[in-house]
Structure 1
């Protein structure tokens, strides 16, 4: 097979372009709410703005400045081909934007943050090129995404819910009724999705099977694009774009060879730098503690994995009119006639901001808290805080709340909430 001719500086430009495309697909997260008509949806910072001496207005200005800095730095990286200074700006700006609104902590934003640190911290030669060592770390991170993502799906919740949706969506195009299959057959078929993803990771890990892994990764991401598209499950644009980015990245990182100057020194893993190694080790090790609650689900690459912790909210019918009209799509009908309606925070995120909600009880509790306060419905909501589910049984620990004091007590266990 003919080696692909591509430069390492070109990869930096590629990821800058990818980041711009992802931000464009999720622009309601990054632009001022007054520009996008999403003023009703509360931002959830990681700290109390008032205690930091920031007003909502000043936080909004800082947030917009961070977004603008990312965009300018990405264009500068694309225009210059390589740069020592744009990636620190992107890393700091991404961190700032996320601290001011945790909803921006999408998995691709975290991935971009990791890459930005690696590009910023890694030593460069006299011409400004990154060493092969840095790209080995990026390949290692990429493989870890597939490993953790697949392992997270060998789970009761995935096999019985999202896995079944993944199975039904493509087969219904050819008029195959999956519901008629025996339960065991459907579960085994759903397990084939994470099994294939794990095979992708294994194939990409070995030089002899790497090109097979590239083709497998491409097929997997294209399949996900089809399943998640409007003709399938109808997921948000950002999810579709990220799968396209990952498919192209597989070719850039693992296919063929990178061709540089003849006098380029032999790759040395020590040239990656101590900070780069520290970042990669944290990114590789911390996902192990995700189920125990010490690492966020998305930061552990728990993608399309419904085992995540969450907050369930119910709202009394007398309070529904106090919510914005567009939010009604996130409120279900009163099927049991008890005058209480499920209020789906995940659906609310899709309706208003067109992006998935952060699948984390910490974020969802803080979001519910802000919604309750700004709507003045303290005494007409109830719900529960649920832990991550058991891998084998799907069961969760639950903490119910019906009063404001119980709700506040449930939130005291969370870190990084305002």
Structure 2
């Protein structure tokens, strides 16, 4: 029999994970259902031949799994029923189904590999399949790894020079302090403190003696981030704010001293519990542990390009390679009025207008743009094909241009930029990636 603080801790974690996952799934529902608002880029090329209506299946399974888990966590708690009445087998089924449906959704569109969804899919698998002591331990390691890899991804000049400064400006703007006359060097030093703080949180949470101090530092960091990116600061999309609120609650449940001070176990009882626990280890539990350890270690491959940026917890980092889409000024006005706000005016003496696909994604899907150049290339191709459909046959001048920016140098922040004009030059780039970069057929209406 597991101790009451441990059971309570596990139950609370299930509650908040399922609740916040459900809230974010509802908020970004357009991303998970068949849609023609924004280009879709499957994980594999052959998926484009399968009807997109399969998306409804994955979305429905994800939603129903979360609702069932939420009910199974909340109702017994309110009725003060024992842990054994929670139907653990059905909970395991729901946790596995959510993960499988999430994977299916990502196969149909890489855009859906949102960091919050990835974390919740892994977290629910841990909480529903593994026994409480091991589940809590692995869940803690997962959270600590997020802080560690997030800090690691910001240890480069590009973050300090760009997004780090923006976060600093947003934070001080939220508290009514203008940074208009501050030097770039001052903002850069403030930006440097962000990854340092995340490193301290990761190491502090790992060790029991420093855990409580690190916990409150983490809570303070998330509150600060909410200020910086909230309505008073940079005014980023609501999903990031919701995810930060979740992190505060999650950290309090995982690391607070209330759940650390468990009563010691009698030796005989401990041995019996250990034998029961050993006999209960199944092939599914072993498989889940292998998967979680892969998720914990795979982000180390991110600098090599063999593991994506967001599953490596590169949050608010900017060193990854990326694609900039430019559209001819005349072609711009042939696009629907709904897309005009996402297309900049051309620079002086230039006919090229930058299309802000990241704003388009937020506006129509409620989700940030997937940061991989592979996915962004697919979006550019979808837009480029739609634009060039209206091109006159006697018009030989390209109507789209693509700037492929390499990953930023860690020390200088500089990038190598390659330029491609027209679909004939852009389409062959899809062969440079191991995974698919070609979009589904897309019509701009």
TM range (shorter): 0.7 to 0.9
Match of 2:290 among 262, 271, 278: 278
| 2:75 corresponds to 1:74 | no
SS at match of 1:400: strand
Tell me if structure 1 keeps the 8 A contact 2:13–2:253. yes
Query: What's the counterpart of residue 94 of structure 1?
Result: 102
TM-score normalized with structure 2 length: 0.83
SS at match of 2:403: strand
Equivalent residues in 2 for 1:47-126, closer than 5 Å = 47-49=44-46, 53-54=49-50, 58-59=51-52, 61-81=53-73, 82=88, 83-119=91-127, 121-122=129-130
Tell me if structure 1 keeps the 8 A contact 2:21–2:120. yes
4+ runs of 1 displaced by more than 6 Å? 258-264, 267-270
Judged with a 3 Å threshold, the aligned counterparts in structure 2 of structure 1 residues 337 and 352 are, in CA distance, closer, same or farther, namely: farther
Gaps of at least 5 residues in structure 1 are 34-38, 123-129
Query: What's the counterpart of residue 45 of structure 1?
Result: 42
Query: What's the counterpart of residue 85 of structure 2?
Result: none
Query: What's the counterpart of residue 443 of structure 2?
Result: none
- Shift, 1:175, TM fit: 4.8
Gaps of at least 5 residues in structure 2 are 74-87, 392-397, 439-445
C-alpha separation between the residues in 2 aligned to 1:301 and 1:232? Answer: 23
Match of 2:386 among 374, 378, 389: 374
Match of 2:259 among 218, 241, 257: 257
Q: CA RMSD in A?
A: 2.6
Query: What's the counterpart of residue 223 of structure 1?
Result: 224
- Shift, 1:49, TM fit: 4.8
SS at match of 2:289: helix
Judged with a 3 Å threshold, the aligned counterparts in structure 2 of structure 1 residues 116 and 322 are, in CA distance, closer, same or farther, namely: farther
> Could you tell which deviates more after superposition, 264-273 or 336-345?
264-273
TM-score normalized with structure 1 length: 0.88
SS at match of 1:231: coil
- Shift, 1:20, TM fit: 0.2
Judged with a 3 Å threshold, the aligned counterparts in structure 2 of structure 1 residues 323 and 137 are, in CA distance, closer, same or farther, namely: same
- Shift, 1:46, TM fit: 1.4
- Shift, 1:346, TM fit: 1.3
C-alpha separation between the residues in 1 aligned to 2:59 and 2:40? Answer: 15
Query: What's the counterpart of residue 317 of structure 1?
Result: 329
- Shift, 1:174, TM fit: 4.9
Match of 1:21 among 23, 30, 35: 23
C-alpha separation between the residues in 1 aligned to 2:252 and 2:179? Answer: 34
Tell me if structure 2 keeps the 8 A contact 1:362–1:415. no
Tell me if structure 2 keeps the 8 A contact 1:40–1:324. no
Match of 1:296 among 292, 305, 308: 308
Tell me if structure 1 keeps the 8 A contact 2:149–2:314. yes
- Shift, 1:261, TM fit: 12
- Shift, 1:4, TM fit: 9.2
Tell me if structure 2 keeps the 8 A contact 1:149–1:301. yes
Tell me if structure 1 keeps the 8 A contact 2:150–2:314. yes
Tell me if structure 1 keeps the 8 A contact 2:17–2:124. no
Q: Which has the larger radius of gyration?
A: 2
Equivalent residues in 2 for 1:182-201, closer than 5 Å = 182-201=183-202
Judged with a 3 Å threshold, the aligned counterparts in structure 2 of structure 1 residues 50 and 90 are, in CA distance, closer, same or farther, namely: closer
